[in-house]
Amino acid sequence: MIVSASYRTDIPAFYGRWFLNRLAAGYCLVHSPYGGAPYRVSLRPEDVDGFVFWTKNLGPFWPALAELRRRGLPFIVQYSVTGYPRQLEGGVVAAARSVDHLRRLAGECGPRVPVWRYDPIVTTTLTPADFHRRTFERLATALEGVVDEVVISFAQIYQKTRRNLDAAARRAGFGWADPPADAKRVLLADLAAMAAARGMRLSLCGQRQLLGEGVADARCVDAVRLSDVAGRDLTAGARGHRPACGCFASRDIGAYDTCPHGCIYCYAVQTPVRARAGWRAHDPAGEFL
């Protein structure tokens, strides 16, 4: 079993103490996001093939990574670094700091552990296509030789995403749009060329209709990469996740509406106010996040 921690919230940035407590306990409990009964996820070494962490700030999580290494549990880190303005990402650490984290992660844990995510691509009057070209090239140059893959996606405009984008746009005085597929493909091709020039594989997460030359299908929960990190084959019992996704199956231990980063495009947050309330209600000693 692969444990995802978590695409529903940022456990490394905000919930590291809870994770260490649950690792010591050997399990955690998770509320079903679909209204079903809560479920138990074992965190015992004999039950876990590895972890996939998702974060925008690895800084507070070094003790947890050290403990995983001590226990011999492999992990990979999907690290989002976009360099967006504060109007879009109110509480995210500076991109330069995140680049330093990725360099340290690769140096201490190996080159297959970190994966850079330039994700999601949000098109606004503050971040038009040329902003993404410039910013991606700058970050790719800084991360050359540090990561071998960059995962990208375009923002999915759910009802809650539209509501949060509209509210932020009114407040900060910018406009936003969901570009047509052809414009996305043009930008993808440009970013893929920049990535390839710096020794990176560019992959696209969950949007197979946009795949083209030089753009691979992302496998964010990746048993193959985890096998490379672990030094043994972890793919034999791994299953696919869902038809539109290249990921292997995993158990996610996070909770929606608990990440206070304040990213206005986030699919995992109904409103920033609700997310901050969820964070404040957190008990590091609890069985649930």
Segment 138-159 mean pLDDT: 96
Contact 59, 97 (CB under 8 A): yes
The answer to the question of residue 243 being in a domain is yes
Short-list 80, 98, 106, 102, CA closest to 7: 80
Q: H-helix or E-strand containing 171?
A: helix 159-172
Separation in Å, CA 67 to CA 23, 70, 73, 102, 174: 9, 5, 9, 18, 44
The answer to the question of residue 16 being in a domain is yes
Contact 69, 109 (CB under 8 A): yes
The answer to the question of residue 177 being in a domain is yes
Q: Which of 22-26, 149-153, 160-164 has the lowest mean pLDDT?
A: 160-164
Q: How far apart (Å, rounded) are the C-alpha atoms in residues 203 and 219?
A: 8
Q: How far apart (Å, rounded) are the C-alpha atoms in residues 136 and 70?
A: 35
Q: Domain residues for 146?
A: 2-280
First to last CA, the chain: 20
Q: Which of 79-88, 181-190, 216-225, 279-288 has the lowest mean pLDDT?
A: 216-225
How many beta carbons lie within 10 A of that of residue 145, not counting itself? 12
The answer to the question of residue 286 being in a domain is no
Condensed to tens digits (0 to 9), the pLDDT of residues 162-189 reads 999 999 999 999 999 999 999 999 999 9
pLDDT at 36: 80
Contact 148, 110 (CB under 8 A): no
The answer to the question of residue 287 being in a domain is no
For residue 240, is pLDDT > 60?
Answer: no
Three-class SS state of 135 = helix
The answer to the question of residue 124 being in a domain is yes
Q: Where are the beta strands (DSSP E) in the chain?
A: 2-5, 27-30, 39-42, 50-55, 75-80, 114-121, 123-124, 149-154, 176-177, 201-204, 216-217, 240-242, 245-248, 251-252
pLDDT at 208: 84
CB hemisphere CA count around 288 (13 angstroms):
14
Pairing, β 75-80 against β 114-121: parallel
Condensed to tens digits (0 to 9), the pLDDT of residues 112-146 reads 999 999 999 999 999 999 999 999 999 999 999 99
Condensed to tens digits (0 to 9), the pLDDT of residues 75-107 reads 999 999 999 999 999 899 999 999 999 999 999
Segment 14-36 mean pLDDT: 94
**C-alpha 261: how far from its chain's center?**
13
Please give the tally of structural domains in the chain.
1
Condensed to tens digits (0 to 9), the pLDDT of residues 34-71 reads 888 899 999 999 999 999 999 999 999 999 999 999 99
